[in-house]
Structure formats: structure tokens, C-alpha cells
Amino acid sequence: MFAHNLLKTARAKHFNLKSFHTSIVTSFDVELTQVRYSNLKRGKYSSITDKHISFFESILSKSRVLTDAADVESYNVDWLKTVRGASKAVLKPKTTEEVSAILRYCNENVLAVCPQGGNTGLVGGSVPVFDEIVLSTALMNEVISINKTSGVLVCQAGCILENLEAKVAEQGLMMPLDLGAKGSCHIGGNISTNAGGIRLLRYGSLHGSVLGVEAVKADGTVVDCLSTLKKDNTGYHLKHLFLGSEGTLGVVTKAAIQCPPKPQAVNVAFLALDSFENVLATFRLARSCLGEILSSFEFMDCDSLMAAVTRLKLQCPVPEDTPFSLLIETSGGNSEHDEAKLSLFLDEATNKGYINDGTLASEPSRIKNLWDLREGITQSLSCDGYVYKYDISLPIEHFYDIVDIMKERLKGTPYIKCCGYGHVGDGNLHLNITAPSFDRNLLNLIEPFVYEWTSKHRGSVSAEHGIGFKKTGVVHFSKSGEALKLMAQIKAIMDPKGILNPYKVLPGDPH
Ligand code: FAD
Ligand code: MLT
Ligand code: ZN
């Protein structure tokens, strides 16, 4: 029988994702991007003047145009505190019409703009590089409609994911995506990064569940692709251009999202394993035994889990020296049926010697405690100082190799942790290396090696976080020259003056 000896004891302490200090580094300590990356050249954009500010105040009102340095600062620094822009103005529109008026004016006046949602992006895409104006969607937070029959939600782009989850739950629905940043990230940011997260295994990518978007192009034109239909083959599927283009092709203002029914029964198993081979064997078994009720298959190595346990002061549900842990979630409509399936799976995995120990939860508070361990890793690693963060897709058989290879390569350097966690079910590894502070020599040891290795194994240099500012120089490892040329042509058509999120996604000069 499955030895869930810790079954009843896992009572992890709650932590607040929003109030938790991501790092001891304050915004003002972060080196300006233009200093750290001193070979970068500012594009030939206009600089913001009092005349421009007066115009923005005339369309938004004074209170929605931030120019005070202290107010603007948090919009200049990314969540990881690794890049810092020097914007002098933040604009907070409430409507599509206001976004359109802002962009029309910026385009005419060649003012660069950085669209920003919840600013939880992990590749430096959400903050300015130089002095781009920040266009924040924070006040575009209206739910427009929820259709209980079709399950379609229509809302503005600035709605916070967790708030949407609560809203659609009232109608017996759920959001098709979930991620650790749900308390802060906006649905428009999720769409613009094509965020993956912990439910992708079950509900697929946003390319499937986003039925339509409304977006504003650089010249202020509103592109209405806000279809709420499941089937619509009328010409080019333009909405996909806005999914994952990270604010370089348009500002997403509204979205229509297909929400699945909220499951009646959710179970979570947190399991201890002693080898990565056993992780893979357990995955194969989970797929065959759990089938349609499997909703997450997340893994973390010992250093990743212990970072969360230690920094967040959470109770560890497996022995503390466990090499690999898995968080497996099932979601379905019938608790008895699901529990029976899960129990059979756990018995078989135990009998085959794949898993050593673990704990099970079916009450919401205990499920949350177990998820906190997995979702808290990102924040906990930030507490070390600086995180070199890699988000790669790999063929499953090579999934963990790079963590051991990297540990060997970094011996003798001042790194603190080199660890791996991620979405095994999607072939997506998060390789993280932490150090007390940014160190150029350490970076040079990690990159481009990590990307060359990923490319050699036919992986992707960005599985879910995107290219942003940090990865424009390595996008060629995953995209052919022809594909990059086509991307540049699309950008030139949609944003000929290059005002939207310059220095991001596309390699080369912005202007
Ligand atoms: P921002 O960070 O504000 O912006 C991200 C990018 O989108 C920027 O390029 C910005 O210019 C652009 N953008 C934002 N809003 C718009 C808009 N309305 N129109 C056009 N462009 C826009 N990501 C995953 O994929 N999976 C995860 O599991 C995951 N977990 C995370 C956990 C934590 C703790 C953190 C901090 C981050 C995590 N992320 C994850 C990364 C991040 O949360 C996602 O990329 C998220 O989708 C970003 O949303 P946001 O609103 O914060 O966007
Ligand atoms: C995750 O899966 O936890 C997120 O993508 C964030 C991260 O990579 O740390
Ligand atoms: Zn992830």
C-alpha cells in the first residue's frame, strides 16, 4: 500500500504571494539597464516633454498620468529586480478609446511605449529599457460578460487573473490557466506572453482557449478580433499575432476566453522519488492510470523544494533530503471515481518502486499548502540575491541533464544554488542559478552554453516566459533566419515607426 505516512500532517503555513519580499534588493539598488548593457543604443525616439504630458493629462486627467519619480519607480523595475528602465511617465488608461488616443499621439510624435500589465514578467519585457513611456493596464479591469452556457468570459485586459478566477467560479467555471503570479498578473499580460503555467497539461495553451482579442495597433487603430465563437475560420487568424508577441505588435485591450467547468473533485499527491528515471516512469504511469483526470504533473529537485520550505517557512511534506519531488493533481467530476483511480496509481507506483513516500490532500486548504511549496519556489530563489533564470523546453529524456552539467561547469564560482523544477508534463524545465549579486563572469560561463546545449538537443530557449529584453540575442537558437525575417516584416507592417516595446523580442536595432 502507498505509504502516506505524512498524509495527515502536512499543514504548511500560509504565505502571501503579494506581500512577500522577493529579494533584499530594493528597486533603487537595481543597476539601470542602459548602464549594465552599455553597448545598447537608444533608438531615435523623441524625449518626453511638458507639452506631451499636458496632452496625456487632457485625455486621461492628471491623476492617471504619473510623473513623480517615486510614483514611477516601481514601473521601471522588473519583478526579479534584474533590469531597470528610466521612464519619466506612466499612463493609466481605462478604456480602449483612451489607449487608442495615446498610441495615435505617440506614433505621430515618435514616442516609444512599453505596455505593462502586472509586471510579473521574467524576461525584462514589461519595463522600459531607456525612457519609454509606460502604458499600464492596471485600471482596465472590468469584467464585461460571463456566459454560463458557453463558458465564455469577456473582459478588459487589466483584470488580475486571480480576480477572474473568483468571478468565473461564481458561475461554476474556472480559468483555463493558472500560475504562481496569479495574484498580480493581468489577463492581457498572460495573453501577450502566451503564459503556460500549471494547468497547460490539461487545458492546453492560450492559443486554444483565447477565442478573441481586441487590440490597438501602434498608430491607434483598434483591431476588433473579439470573437466569442469556438469556430470561426474567416480568413487569417489574426488574434494569434497578439498572443505571445509581448507588446511589440499592439496593446491588447479586451479578451474573450473559453472557461472550462470548475471541477467538482480535486486531489493533490505530493510524492518523494529518488531518481529522475523514476520521475519519468511515474509520468508514464500517471498518464495511463489517471488519463483524463490528470491536471498537473509538476516536479522540483531537492534544492528547489528546500528553498521554498526554508524561505517561506513551510512544512516539508517529504523527507528533506528527497532528491526529486512531484506534485500531481487530478481534477474531475466524481470524487469517489477520482480517488479510486488515484489510489490505484499510487499503489502501482509504490509497488514498482517508483515512489518512496508522500502525502495526499483533497481539502482546499491542504491542497493550497502543497501548491504553495511548488509555486513559492520562484520567490524563494529570488531571496538569494540574483537569479539567472532559464525556461527551456527539452525532449523529456534530456529534461534534467542540464542541471547536473551546469553544476559541474560552475564548480569554484560564487553561485549559491543550481536547481531545476518545472512542468514535466509539458517538457518545460526551469533551470535556475542563484548568486549573491549579478556577476558578469558567472553569466559568461552559463551563456551561451545553456542555449547551445538546448539547441543541440532540439529544445526551445523559451518554453513559456518569452523573449522580452533578455533573450533577443539568443532567439536565433530556436528560430530560423527566414522565420526571424518574417517576424521583422510583420513588425514593420504593424508598427512601422517601432514605437511599441522597442529592444524586446526582435534581435537588432529597433528603429
Ligand atoms: P507583464 O509582466 O506586465 O508584461 C509581460 C509582457 O507582456 C511585456 O512584454 C509587456 O510589454 C507585455 N504586455 C503586458 N500587458 C500587455 C497588453 N495588455 N498588451 C500588450 N502587451 C502587454 N509565466 C508562465 O508562462 N508560466 C508560469 O507558470 C509562470 N509563473 C510565474 C510565477 C511567478 C511567481 C512570477 C513572478 C512569474 C511567473 N510567470 C509565469 C511569468 C509571468 O507571470 C507571466 O509572463 C505573465 O503572463 C505576465 O503577466 P503580467 O500581466 O504580469 O505581464
Ligand atoms: C514556474 O513554473 O514556477 C514559473 O514559470 C516561474 C519560474 O520559472 O520560476
Ligand atoms: Zn513555469
420: domain CATH number is 3.30.70.2740
Q: Does residue 96 fall inside a structural domain? A: yes
Same domain, 203 and 219: yes
**Residue 182 domain-assigned?**
yes
Residue at 507 is within a domain: no
Distance between Cα 399 and ligand 3 center (Å): 14
User: What pLDDT, in 10s, does the model give residues 232-277?
Assistant: 999 999 999 999 999 999 999 999 999 999 999 999 999 999 999 9
Domain assignment present for residue 294? The answer is: yes
The DSSP element (H or E) to which 74 belongs, if any, is helix 69-76
**What is the number of the ligand closest to the CA of 307?**
2
Whether 501 maps to a domain, the answer reads: no
Count the domains in the chain: 4
Do 247 and 176 have their domain in common? yes
C-alpha of residue 257 to centroid of ligand 2, in Å: 23
> Residue 177 belongs to a domain with what CATH number?
3.30.465.10
- Do 363 and 410 reside in the same domain of the chain? no
Same domain for 404 and 343: no
Q: Residue for cell digits 519595463? A: 127
Q: How many CB atoms lie within 10 A of CB 308?
A: 25
H/E segment holding residue 136: strand 133-136
Q: What pLDDT was estimated at residue 21?
A: 41
Q: Which residues does ligand 1 sit against, CB inside 6 Å?
A: 79, 114-122, 125-126, 137, 157, 179-181, 185-186, 188-190, 192-193, 195-197, 246-247, 251-252, 378-379, 464-465, 468, 501, 504
Alpha helices in 77-183 (DSSP H): 96-108, 161-169
Ligand nearest to the CA of 178: 1
Same domain assignment for residues 251 and 295: no
- What integer pLDDT is reported at residue 397 of this predicted model? 85
Residue 182 CA to ligand 1 center (angstroms) comes to 10
Residue 427 resides in a domain? yes
DSSP labels for 213-253?
EEEE-TTS-EEEE----S---SS--THHHHTTSTTSS-EEE
pLDDT reported for residue 9: 30
Please give the pLDDT value at position 510.
Answer: 74
One domain for residues 52 and 92: yes
Ligand 2 pocket mutation, candidates 79, 421, 423, 432, criterion most atoms within 8 A of CB: 421
Same domain, 391 and 473: yes
Do 280 and 251 lie in one domain? The reply is: no
Judge if 34 and 16 occupy the same domain: no
End residue of a domain, out of 136, 153, 183: 136
- Let me know whether 101 and 156 are in one domain: no
Can you give the CATH number for the domain in which 54 is found?
Answer: 3.30.43.10
pTM for this structure? 0.95
For residues 267 and 355, state if they share a domain.
yes
Domain boundary among 112, 136, 160: 136
The residue ranges of the chain whose pLDDT is under 70 are 1-25, 511
Is position 428 within any domain?
A: yes
Q: Can you give the CATH number for the domain in which 267 is found?
A: 3.30.70.2190
- Show which of 235, 258, 281 is a domain's final residue: 258
One domain for residues 315 and 400: no
What is the DSSP annotation of 153-189? Answer: EEEETT-BHHHHHHHHHTTTB--S---TTTTT-BHHH
Rg (CA), the chain: 23
Q: Examine residue 359 and state whether it is found in any structural domain, yes or no.
A: yes
- Which structural domain, as residue segments, surrounds residue 118? 27-136
Residue 331 sits at φ, ψ, to 5 deg, of -140, 130
Helix (H) or strand (E) holding 485: helix 481-494
